[in-house]
């Protein structure tokens, strides 16, 4: 029998007969490891313990202590167990797919009657019965004809269609959880008893079109969350409760920031308070970009399809574009345009006007570019997921030798902005070459090394995402962690030699010859809409004073103080502070409570004592009690606090 050599995490190498399973490898190391093993990582692939190993490679045995593989298996197996439970309770239900997602999984079902909250409780109870039975999980590889016949015989049309979508020659793996079977790539646990019965919960049901296509059947999607133990689940459910309190849609109504309506799906109606946040943030970003050596431009909203064809977007992105047909005067056919979904092709057009020299590079071109992209209505989510948005978009035209210093400069630029906005906890991911790509391996080696070196030079570690880069170049992704531990992918830097080639961008080098520039697509916030939604949720609406839409409310205690209230508001306004008067004939406690609910950070109470002493009584949001200070002292303090961080001395 032929032998294979397996390399372990400690560097040791052992030989085994070809076809040895990962379970047998674990048993050869220690009985305790065999007992606790749940899966293996083999040459970077996550595999079942029962799957035979037929070649040399690196191997690591996973246990429940290995968080990432453990959570993947728990959530994946629970998706299957849930589908089994549903079909045991309602045998006529058809099953489709059930992928793992953040914190859990979902599974789509075709059922005539809608699932109810009581149904979710019944499904959970059935799942726990299946887990308690500790039934084995097994797998086989079937040929295509056998698999299709199997599903047709059982009246599962969605599975038949899925098989038709799997490329010829790819293995069709069948998994059984007990006597219930599903088509799946795997991997899975060894038996249902390895699932933690007290660490999962079904959360809600939503509608979902089959394969996301609104011309296909509407299915019912059941969502679940799962963790390794009860404590992790409890922490997550507490986080969800906190997230619900911070929901930007709820706070947007309470703070009167924005609204959405049916006549403009996925578009934001900004109210004065919300627009204050937007313009304050945009002004801050404009100042930062100017200091960072960027030139600001503005490009058209409606662009002829010829440019999108040349850039490749018409062929690859058309389903996400809004098409605009114009019947030009005397034209025999309509002119076809599109609302721009991104700014990059237009920026190349500006670069292409006039002759550019190597002395002009790097050229950092920025735009607060308004873009429109079609998103399915079911995917829209407040101002976080919209169809119309504005990016803090920029493109750096440079030489390949300038990629590393420009990337380092950008990371430092991004770090300053995130710190000013209250985010010190963020990570970097480097996405490397995919299987299908353009360019030589030598070129990819140089560019990937440049991005990695830039991260290290800027003082940041990074996680490598193998094969996740675009077909034309690698990229960096910057992910923020908010106040309640959620992660948000915001900033990006993408290396792109492809678009300058497609759109014929050139510069004259030191040798007097024409060369192609490299294009670095970069953003810090991503879109203003999404980032503002994230800020609202991160701060639970209690934004820093410089960003708060309503900074100060001066409220009268008695009507005789109204004139002094107006004087205080005038002084604050002259000092550049967003202030307003509340001289309604209401009790001061009512006024304070109302403005606190609307997240006004500073409320000044003014009565006859304050009039006589020319003071104000300051109440801070979420602080007990008040502080009496002179008007001049209040002005000085609030002016300093209300100044954007980049303008402070």
* Strand residue runs (E) in 120-189: 137-142, 172-177, 180-183
> Would you state the structure tokens that stand for residue 317, as one six-digit string?
């992105």
The active-site residue out of 159, 356, 521, 599 is 521
Any known ligand binding at 330? Answer: no
Q: Is 344 a catalytic residue?
A: yes
Q: Is 330 a catalytic residue?
A: no
- Residues 245-260 as b/e (b if ≥16 CB within 10 A, e otherwise) read ebbbbebbeebebbeb
H/E run at residue 533: helix 528-538
Q: Which residues contact 615 (CB under 8 A, 6 or more apart)?
A: 609, 628, 629, 630, 631
Q: Which residues contact 432 (CB under 8 A, 6 or more apart)?
A: 444, 448, 464, 465, 466, 467, 468, 469, 474
CB 482 within 8 A of CB 538: yes
Any known ligand binding at 398? Answer: no
Q: How far is CA 16 from CA 2, 190, 402, in A?
A: 9, 22, 49
CB 629 within 8 A of CB 618: yes
Q: Is 373 a catalytic residue?
A: yes
> Would you state the structure tokens that stand for residue 241, as one six-digit string?
């409760």
The active-site residue out of 188, 395, 578, 619 is 395
Phi, psi angle pair for 574, to nearest 5°: -65, -25
Q: Minimal CA–CA distance to 34: which of 42, 22, 45?
A: 22
Q: Which residues contact 151 (CB under 8 A, 6 or more apart)?
A: 157, 159, 160, 163, 183
Q: Is 184 a catalytic residue?
A: no
The active-site residue out of 393, 482, 496, 582 is 393
Burial zone of 624 (CB within 10 Å; 0-12 exposed, 13-18 middle, 19+ buried)? exposed
The active-site residue out of 190, 220, 391, 494 is 391
The active-site residue out of 48, 76, 344, 409 is 344
d(CA 319, CA 215): 14
The active-site residue out of 475, 550, 578, 619 is 475
Q: Is 126 a catalytic residue?
A: no
Any known ligand binding at 248? Answer: no
Cis, bond preceding 187 (omega within 30 deg of 0): yes
DSSP letter for 297, please: -
Q: Is 475 a catalytic residue?
A: yes
* SS3 assignment for 588-604: HHHHHHHHHHCCCCEEE
Point out the annotated binding site. 344, 395, 521
> What residues are labeled active site?
344, 373, 391, 393, 395, 475, 521
Annotated binding site for Zn(2+): 344, 395, 521
């Amino acid at each position: 029998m032929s032998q294979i050599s397996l390399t372990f995490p400690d560097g040791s190498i052992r030989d085994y007969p070809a076809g040895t399973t990962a379970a047998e490898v674990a048993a050869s190391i220690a009985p305790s490891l065999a007992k606790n093993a749940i899966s293996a990582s083999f040459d970077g692939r996550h595999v079942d313990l029962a799957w035979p190993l037929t070649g040399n490679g690196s191997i690591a045995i996973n246990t429940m202590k290995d968080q990432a593989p453990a959570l993947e298996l728990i959530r994946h197996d629970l998706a299957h167990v849930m589908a089994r439970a549903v079909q045991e309770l309602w045998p006529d239900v058809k099953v489709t797919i059930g992928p793992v997602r953040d914190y859990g999984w979902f599974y789509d079902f075709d059922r005539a009657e809608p699932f109810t909250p009581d149904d979710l409780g019944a499904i959970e109870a059935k799942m726990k019965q299946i887990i308690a039975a500790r039934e084995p999980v097994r797998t086989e590889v079937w040929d295509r004809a056998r698999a299709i016949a199997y599903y047709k015989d059982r009246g599962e049309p969605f599975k038949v269609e899925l098989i038709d979508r799997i490329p010829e020659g790819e293995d069709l793996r069948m998994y059984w959880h007990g006597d219930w079977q599903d088509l799946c790539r795997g991997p899975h646990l060894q038996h249902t008893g390895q699932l933690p019965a007290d660490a999962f919960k079904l959360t809600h049901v939503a509608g979902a079109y089959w394969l996301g296509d609104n011309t296909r059947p509407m299915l019912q999607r059941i969502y679940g969350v799962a963790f390794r133990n009860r404590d992790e689940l409890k922490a997550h459910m507490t986080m969800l409760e906190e997230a619900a309190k911070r929901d930007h849609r709820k706070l947007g109504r309470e703070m009167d920031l924005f609204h959405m309506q049916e006549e403009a799906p996925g578009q934001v109606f900004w109210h004065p308070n919300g627009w204050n946040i937007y313009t304050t943030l945009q002004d801050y970003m404009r100042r930062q970009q100017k200091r960072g050596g960027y030139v600001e431009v503005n490009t058209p909203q409606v662009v002829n399809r010829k440019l999108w064809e040349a850039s490749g977007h018409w062929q690859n992105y058309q389903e996400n574009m809004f098409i605009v047909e114009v019947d030009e005067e005397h034209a025999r056919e309509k002119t076809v345009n599109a609302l721009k979904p991104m700014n990059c092709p237009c920026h190349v057009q500006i670069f292409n006007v006039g002759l550019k020299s190597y002395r002009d590079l790097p050229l950092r071109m920025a735009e607060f570019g308004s873009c429109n992209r079609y998103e399915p209505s079911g995917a829209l989510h407040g101002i976080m997921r919209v169809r119309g948005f504005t990016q803090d978009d920029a493109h750096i035209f440079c030489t390949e030798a300038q990629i590393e210093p420009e990337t380092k400069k950008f990371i430092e630029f991004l770090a300053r902005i995130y710190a000013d906005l209250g985010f010190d906890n963020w990570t970097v991911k480097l996405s490397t070459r995919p299987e299908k790509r353009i360019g030589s391996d030598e070129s990819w080696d140089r560019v990937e090394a440049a991005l990695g070196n830039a991260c290290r030079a800027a003082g940041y570690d990074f996680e490598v995402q193998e094969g996740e880069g675009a077909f034309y170049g690698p990229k960096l992704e910057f992910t923020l962690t908010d106040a309640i531990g959620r992660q948000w992918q915001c900033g990006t830097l993408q290396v792109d030699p492809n678009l300058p080639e497609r759109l014929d961008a050139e510069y004259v080098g030191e040798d007097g010859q024409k060369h192609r520039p490299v294009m670095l697509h970069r953003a810090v916030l991503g879109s203003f809409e999404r980032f503002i939604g994230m800020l609202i949720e991160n701060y639970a609406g209690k934004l820093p004073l410089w960003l708060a839409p309503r900074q100060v409310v001066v409220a009268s205690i008695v009507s005789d103080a109204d004139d002094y209230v107006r004087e205080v508001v005038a002084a604050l306004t002259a000092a550049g502070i967003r202030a307003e008067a509340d001289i309604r004939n209401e009790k001061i406690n009512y006024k304070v409570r109302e403005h606190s609910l609307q997240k006004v950070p500073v409320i000044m109470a003014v009565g006859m004592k304050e009039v006589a002493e020319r003071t104000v009584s300051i109440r801070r949001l979420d602080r007990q009690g008040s502080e009496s200070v002179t008007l001049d002292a209040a002005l000085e303090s609030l002016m300093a606090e209300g100044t954007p961080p980049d303008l402070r001395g």
